[in-house]
Amino acid sequence: MKSLGFRLIVALIVGITVVSTLSSWYGVQREKDELRLDLEHKAETFSEGLTGNAEPLLLNGDRDSMTRLVEQFGNRGQLLGLAIVDPNGAPVAVTRSIASYLRPAGAQLQAALHANKTISAYTRIRFRRVYLVVAPLHRADKSVAGAMMLVYDTGFIRAATLRVWGLALIHFGFQVLIIAGITVLIVRWSLMRPIARAARWMHALRLGGDETAPPMRDLDFLAPLANEVAPLIASVHEARAAAAAEARLRNAKEQIWTAQRLADNVKTKLAGSHLYVVSNREPYIHSRGPQGITVSVPASGLVTAIEPILCACNGTWVAHGSGSADRLTVDAHDRLPVPPQEPRYTLRRVWLTGEEEQGYYYGFANEGLWPLCHIAHTRPTFRAADWEQYMRVNEKFADALVEEIGDDAHPVVLIQDYHFALLPRLLKERLPHARVAIFWHIPWPNPESFDICPWQRELVEGLLGADLIGFHVQAHCNNFLDTVDRALEARVDWERFSVKRNDHWSAVRPIPISVDIPLDDHAVEDNRSEDYRRLLKQEWNFEASWLAVGVDRMDYTKGILERFLAVESLLDNHAQYVGEFTLIQIGAPTRSTIPRYAELQMELEREAERINVRFRRGNWRPILLVQEQQEHSQLLRFYRAAHVCLVTSLHDGMNLVAKEFVAARRDERGVLLLSRFTGAARELRDAILVNPYDTYSTGEAIAQALGMESAEMTDRMRRMRHWIKEHNIYWWASSLLSALCDLRIEPGVEAKPSQIEKLVP
């Protein structure tokens, strides 16, 4: 640090010296020019007046008068003396002090006489700097009768410039002292102390201590270093937490999956192969805003589960580029290294036209397949134009995948959801050596319902291109196999839950998706539920003693309207909760361009207002409808404040809200009221299961939850949390990828049912 301070001071002194020298030189030159200009002006004016007096005296030959003239005016100010000469340059009258200057100035005298004009010059005569002015004297006919020479002393100009240099030197000295002092203080207070604190902190981290981190403003002057240090520190904490968690798991002989364990396991399974993930939604979205281009991560359990694997194997994620600034951040091949802070894998973006997105996503996928698979009493709409776009987009993604895979000898491809039912077959036809899995995140209906789809054969045929087809629950697997048996000529092996079609075997397996739950949650005693409730009441300006929460997209499959009616039934039949119970319904608007969704939003607003008007008392209302997207960190407040979480989906593949609520309850309190038509109901058996269509029974179930004893509540929550810890999002990803990697695919060789059987998680 001392050498750094010394170098800074030396550098500043050198810089000040250069700047001061240039500034002083400019000031000296300006002063010199002004003094010379003033002298020249005075000399010109004086010579003009004096030649008028000298010309008659020279023409009359009056030497005495000329001698008196030169003696009288020859010693004024900077004027050293005068001399009057004849046409040959011989002196006629001269001031004694400059008599010796005539010979050295002979050249200027002769030049003025011959040119018949005034000549001036700065010169050195007898080691003295002088300014000479030689003006010709004329006869009446303007011929030259002689000349007058004026000699000025210019020493005062040199003295003035030396004075300027002296003042500049004094100023420079003061500047050096002040700058050196300020530099020492800056180095000491702004560099040495913050860096010393950061060094102590890093030393404590290295030794495993708990030294408090210094404020990041301490390192503002080293912004690039600070930007690298922050992720490094986070990585250190994550690595230590993972190591500690793994140690606890080993000591307890538990088999709980972590991000690191997932990455290590699948990396071993891949054995050098690359993983390619396909989804409609991308893991990182770039948007253009007031602060420029920003990047956001959509709230998705899929990103949480898949990203550690992609990072471990330097994989590729292929997705629709939907952000307003997505095109500005990719290279010439539409690729982007991610995560932004520490790139570990590749995001390949696929561009869709507005017509393609409307037909493929909003049309066929969400107006056709979504209501068809959920059987939620909304008629599916199938249009030939939408089907054309759906096929075109699936082919476009197939092209992108083939381009990304290139000559990879053992690619592993994981396709996500109902947007890409045709993609497994398209990919398998081009790359038969690829191992392909697709996970269908929504329900699969019974074959009679799926028969409504005009293109059911093409969809099922496309899915059977995959080596592994995953669903959330066994019932959906059964429905899919029934549909295959009914729609296609294929061999359905019910014993091994697999299908043979065109000499290709596809395994069908239930692998329920889950959420992440921190491993150290059991060590956290969180009794702040009342604090969360108090803060929410202040934020949303309502009063209530009992809180329930519902978190859903504004979708007709989520049973939100039935939930409102159940609250109304509760208040009708349990008067003690009137004025005391409030449901906070968080509804994120979605697919608002589809008419059914816009209608649902207006219907929910009307119903909530009707119930509120009927029961409202003062500042209390039974339903608080929050129509906005909430980040997961914000949702935690609602989960932890609620006495009850209501998940009343009419039909759902899994519904991760139920698992998120359980994962958030570190205090092991709260009651989950769960629709038995969700995939989560197969796992979270300690929830209160309800039929959401029976609004009276659901209202009674809410009353049961509110009146539940603390011991029973804790037992139920503890068992559900234990299940989720053992079957978390990393377990799901490992089960899916490990099963696929265990299947050997060789071109031209039929996969055997015995191999398929090994795919059981």
Same domain membership, residue 536 and residue 608: yes
- Could you say which of 228, 254, 280 is where a domain stops? 254
Specify the higher pLDDT residue, 280 or 198: 280
Same domain membership, residue 480 and residue 452: yes
Same domain membership, residue 447 and residue 327: yes
Is the CA virtual torsion 264, 265, 269, 273 positive or negative? negative
CA distances from 171 to 14, 22, 157, 176, 756 (A): 15, 14, 21, 9, 89
- Could you say which of 115, 134, 159 is where a domain stops? 159
Q: Does residue 368 belong to any structural domain of this protein?
A: no
Lowest-confidence segment of 87-96, 419-428, 749-758 by average pLDDT: 749-758
What does pLDDT average to over the chain?
85
20: domain CATH number is 3.30.450.20
> Which H, E and C letters describe 59-112, residue by residue?
HHCCHHHHHHHHHHHCCCCCEEEEEEECCCCCEEEECHHHHHHCCCCHHHHHHH
Q: Does residue 520 belong to any structural domain of this protein?
A: no
First and final C-alpha spacing in the chain: 59
User: Residue 217: its pLDDT value, please?
Assistant: 57
Evaluate if residue 750 carries a pLDDT over 70. Answer: no
- Could you say which of 111, 141, 159 is where a domain stops? 159
Q: Which of 564, 688, 586 is nearest to 637 (CA)?
A: 586
Q: Does residue 263 belong to any structural domain of this protein?
A: no
Give the helix ranges, DSSP H, for 350-455: 354-357, 370-374, 384-405, 423-430, 447-450
Same domain membership, residue 693 and residue 564: yes
Q: Does residue 87 belong to any structural domain of this protein?
A: yes
The model's pLDDT over 155-191, given as tens digits with 9 standing for 90+, comes to 888 888 888 888 878 877 777 788 777 777 776 676 6
The tokens 């009674």 sit on which residue?
700
Same domain membership, residue 427 and residue 285: yes
pLDDT band at 560 (very low <50, low <70, confident <90, very high): very high
Evaluate if residue 756 carries a pLDDT over 90. Answer: no
pLDDT band at 758 (very low <50, low <70, confident <90, very high): very low
494: domain CATH number is 3.40.50.2000
Q: Does residue 280 belong to any structural domain of this protein?
A: yes
From its phi and psi, is residue 514 left (phi > 0), alpha (psi between -120 and 50) or beta?
beta
Average confidence (pLDDT) over 212-216: 59
CA 509 – CA 491 distance, rounded (Å):
16
What is the strand order of the sheet 688-690 is part of?
623-626, 581-588, 546-553, 644-647, 671-675, 688-690
User: Residue 493: its pLDDT value, please?
Assistant: 95
The model's pLDDT over 16-43, given as tens digits with 9 standing for 90+, comes to 778 777 877 887 888 888 888 888 888 8
Average confidence (pLDDT) over 377-402: 95
Range of the domain at 241: 216-254
Lowest-confidence segment of 47-56, 361-370, 539-548 by average pLDDT: 47-56
Domain count, the chain: 4
The token pair at 25 is 């030189």
For 135-154, the DSSP string reads EEEE-TTS-EEEEEEEEEE-
User: Residue 174: its pLDDT value, please?
Assistant: 79
8-state DSSP, 192:
I
The model's pLDDT over 99-108, given as tens digits with 9 standing for 90+, comes to 888 788 788 8
Q: Does residue 704 belong to any structural domain of this protein?
A: yes
Specify the higher pLDDT residue, 229 or 480: 480
Q: Does residue 186 belong to any structural domain of this protein?
A: no
Give the helix ranges, DSSP H, for 509-550: 529-540
Same domain membership, residue 543 and residue 504: no
CA 109 – CA 88 distance, rounded (Å):
9
Same domain membership, residue 536 and residue 657: yes
Average confidence (pLDDT) over 685-714: 97
Evaluate if residue 432 carries a pLDDT over 90. Answer: yes
Same domain membership, residue 645 and residue 575: yes
Same domain membership, residue 679 and residue 650: yes
Contact call for residues 238 and 230 (beta carbons, < 8 A): no
Sequence-separated (6 or more) residues with CB below 8 Å from residue 474: 510
Average confidence (pLDDT) over 451-479: 96
Specify the higher pLDDT residue, 539 or 686: 686
CA 149 – CA 112 distance, rounded (Å):
10
User: Residue 60: its pLDDT value, please?
Assistant: 83
The model's pLDDT over 126-147, given as tens digits with 9 standing for 90+, comes to 778 888 888 888 887 888 888 8
User: Residue 299: its pLDDT value, please?
Assistant: 67
Q: Does residue 53 belong to any structural domain of this protein?
A: yes
Evaluate if residue 515 carries a pLDDT over 60. Answer: yes
Average confidence (pLDDT) over 546-561: 94
Same domain membership, residue 595 and residue 492: no
Q: Which residues pair with 496 in a beta bridge?
A: none
**What's the one-letter identity of residue 613?**
V
User: Residue 152: its pLDDT value, please?
Assistant: 84
Lowest-confidence segment of 479-483, 498-502, 709-713, 747-751 by average pLDDT: 747-751
Same domain membership, residue 406 and residue 545: no
Evaluate if residue 753 carries a pLDDT over 50. Answer: no
Kind plus residue range of the DSSP H or E element containing 235:
helix 223-252
User: Residue 92: its pLDDT value, please?
Assistant: 85
What is the strand order of the sheet 119-125 is part of?
91-94, 79-85, 144-153, 128-138, 119-125
Same domain membership, residue 333 and residue 464: yes
> Which H, E and C letters describe 270-315, residue by residue?
HCCCCEEEEECCCCCEEEEECCEEEEECCCCHHHHHHHHHHHHHCC
